[in-house]
Amino acid sequence: MKRSSGARLCATAAIGALSLSLLTACSDDGSKDTDSKTSASASAPAEASSSAPAAKALTKAELEKLLLAQGELKGYKVDSGDDTLPASKSVVKTDKPACNPLAWATAALAPGDTDASVGNTVAEDKTAAATAKPTDLADAFDIDMTFVGLSSYAGDGAEKAMKAVSDGVTACAGGYGLKADGENTKVTKVAEEKNSAKGDEVVAFTEDVDMDGAGKATFHAAVVRKGNTVATFYTVNFAAMTKGGDMGAVPAAVIDAQLAKLK
């Protein structure tokens, strides 16, 4: 890995979702039982009665209230994500349209067709541990940060969003090219994986990302539908990102706490 371009590497590995301040710090330290598709997702959900009103999408303001907030999950810090998440889908592009929902989901953006979406970041709070000060700089960056996105849909839009993600996992198994905030990334492999998240539908997957020709990094994502709301989770470990390898699974505590807030 070329240390002089470490910030670029971190940016592309994280699907363009990290702020320049975090990226610079990251790059400058050289030392440094349920299927992924639940039974509900295996087949199309039962059609609602013709007399039942169509689901209405929540507004952004309503979704903001459903995002995890600081103090609601012990051992984690919650941030608005304004400085770390892409502002819109227009800055996250792939070379295969079928892969767009995957790229959007990993950047806390709505994987389906809706304007009602919000996102934040949930990171381990090492200051809450018994040893508030890390023993070295490498330990300070050994932190899991999860990008969390919520999106809401009218009618059957949430089910369609989940299908788009599921179809994308299959269509993009051989990888795809990604451009985010001007940086190019090569995802070399996409694979379905298991996740025990409790929702109406669950699709979880891993992505192997080329680390600028210096090995690969494996990232984990989970997309969960609860009613007409879709929650996306994508985890990055800063220390692991500097040397490649597995970023680690999305923390179950983060998924459980966020889903508990959804109606």
- Higher per-residue confidence, 128 vs 164: 164
Quick one: pLDDT at residue 139? 59
Question: What tens digit of pLDDT does each residue of 66-92 get?
Answer: 999 999 999 999 999 888 888 899 999
**pLDDT(122) > 80:** yes
Interval 175-200 mean pLDDT: 91
pLDDT above 90 as % of the chain: 56
> CA 35 to CA 111: how far, in whole Å?
20
- Least confident range from 43-52, 156-165, 185-194: namely 43-52
Task: Find out whether 234 and 219 touch, Cβ atoms under 8 Å.
Answer: yes
Q: What is the pLDDT of residues 224-250, one digit of tens each?
A: 999 999 999 999 987 777 777 888 899
Identify the residue with better confidence: 139 or 172.
Answer: 172
- Span 24-39, mean pLDDT? 38
Structure tokens at 29: 């330290």
Asked if the model's pLDDT at residue 218 lies above 90, the reply is yes
pLDDT top residue among 21 and 64: 64
- Number of neighbours of residue 167 by Cβ within 10 angstroms: 15
HSE toward the beta carbon, residue 59, CA cutoff 13 A: 2
The CA–CA distances, whole Å, from 129 to 22, 29, 132, 250 equal: 22, 23, 6, 20
User: Residue 48, CB half-sphere, CA atoms under 13 Å: how many?
Assistant: 11
Strands 216-226 and 229-237: antiparallel
| 8 A C-beta contact, residue 111 and residue 164 | yes
Going by C-beta distance under 8 Å and a sequence separation of 6 or more, which residues neighbour residue 75? 124, 125, 128, 129, 253
pLDDT at 17: 36
d(CA 235, CA 144): 6
The set of residues, in sequence order, having a beta carbon less than 8 Å from that of 239 and lying 6+ positions away, is 32, 138, 139, 141, 142, 143
CA 15 to chain centre: 9
DSSP string, the chain: --GGGHHHHHHHHTTT-S-HHHHHHHHH-S-----SS-HHHHSPPPPPPTTSPPP-PPPHHHHHHHS--TTSSTTEEEE--TTTS-SSGGGEEESSGGGHHHHHHTTTS-SSS-S-EEEEEEEE-GGGSSS-S-SSHHHHT--EEEEEEEEE-STTHHHHHHHHHHHHHHHTTT-EEEEETTEEEEEEEEEEE-----SSEEEEEEEEEE-TTS-EEEEEEEEEEETTEEEEEEEEEHHHHTT-EE--PPPHHHHHHHHHT--
Judge: domain 3-43+56-260, CATH 3.40.1000. Answer: yes
Give the residue extent of every domain in the chain: 3-43+56-260
pLDDT for residue 130: 46
Q: What pLDDT is stored for residue 141 in this prediction?
A: 67
Q: What is the pLDDT of residue 36?
A: 39
Both structure tokens of 181? 């905030």
